[in-house]
Amino acid sequence: MSDMNGRVALITGASSGIGRATAEAFAAKGAWVVVAARREDELASLVTDIETRGGKATAIKTDVSAKKDVERMVAHAIEMYGRLDYAVNNAGIEGQLAGITDLTEEDWGNVLNINLTGTFLCLKYQARAMIAGGHGGAIVNIGSVNSFLGFPTGAAYVTSKHGMIGLTTSVSAELAPQGIRVNLVCPGVIDTPMHHRLRGLIGNEIYDKGLLPQVHLRRAGRPEEIAQAIIFLCSDEASYITGTTLTPDGGFTLTI
């Protein structure tokens, strides 16, 4: 796969899980990395780790549901490195899982504001920066197998992830003439803090005997495996891929 030396990658939700693994993968390919999340200590640790390995990184605290934060995040990338080549919109929450008769408007709005409106805001300002730079770019949004599949008590989360499909395909069509590719990655069961919380909610027995057997590979995926799928979609090798959905899920959706 082609190297990314001298190019700039911006990753949201970079403090843990898939976001952290993706930032490390971009740095390993030679890209200069901007990492964004709400947890500053974790971001600082990530920057230190990347720099210890010889990479180049900078962090900025960001709430993607806040327009001013997103504007500042993208401006920080341009100020630090002078350009923006890749963006990964990974920030998201599962929110409060509750049946539709109990789900509050506040919980509904919180999930939609971060997962879907947050991605919209990121796309808006990332696209502006890439268009102004005049050298194209690649953006990857992070959905979920729940972009296709619903589950009880998950109305807010599932709706936010379903919306990522329409958002991605619409924006990819719009930005293609500017040489900007936009794709969606929909991971399955991945060993991240979010899935650890899921395991705690449903219990080890249901997780091990009910959920994992539906994965063809019979295991949870690793964050770095999803990171490699993201890196591919941003790379020159994926130059003819836009508006598509890649589903690294170990075969999970083929079983449902």
Q: Give the count of alpha carbons within 13 A of 51, CB side only.
A: 11
Structurally, the chain folds into a number of domains equal to: 1
- Looking at residue 18, its pLDDT comes to 97
Q: With contact defined as beta carbons under 8 Å apart, do 142 and 192 qualify?
A: no
In-domain check, residue 213: no
For residue 210, give every residue at least 6 positions away whose Cβ sits within 8 Å of its Cβ, in sequence order, or none.
202
Which one-letter amino acid corresponds to residue 44? Answer: A
- Mapped onto helix, strand or coil, the DSSP state of residue 137 is strand
In-domain check, residue 243: yes
Name the percent of the chain in helix, strand, coil, to the closest 5.
Answer: 55, 15, 30
- Looking at residue 117, its pLDDT comes to 98
Rounded to 10°, the helix 118-133/67-81 angle is 30
Q: With contact defined as beta carbons under 8 Å apart, do 62 and 73 qualify?
A: yes
In-domain check, residue 216: no
Q: Which domain holds residue 154?
A: 8-189+223-249
Q: With contact defined as beta carbons under 8 Å apart, do 248 and 46 qualify?
A: no
- Looking at residue 63, its pLDDT comes to 98
d(CA 19, CA 21): 5
pLDDT digits 0-9 by tens, 179-207: 999 999 999 989 988 777 776 666 777 67
Q: Which of 81, 86, 157, 207 is catalytic?
A: 157
- Mapped onto helix, strand or coil, the DSSP state of residue 53 is coil
pTM of the full structure: 0.95
In-domain check, residue 198: no
In-domain check, residue 169: yes
pLDDT digits 0-9 by tens, 34-52: 999 999 999 999 999 999 9
In-domain check, residue 239: yes
In-domain check, residue 111: yes
Rounded to 10°, the helix 17-28/40-52 angle is 30
- Looking at residue 199, its pLDDT comes to 67
Q: Could you tell me the CATH number of the domain that includes residue 181?
A: 3.40.50.720
Q: What element of type H or E holds 183?
A: strand 180-185
In-domain check, residue 212: no
For this structure, is 125 an active site residue? no
Low-confidence residues of the chain, pLDDT below 70?
199-202, 206, 256
Taking Cα atoms as reference points, which of 85, 89, 87, 59 lies closest to residue 6?
85
- Looking at residue 202, its pLDDT comes to 63
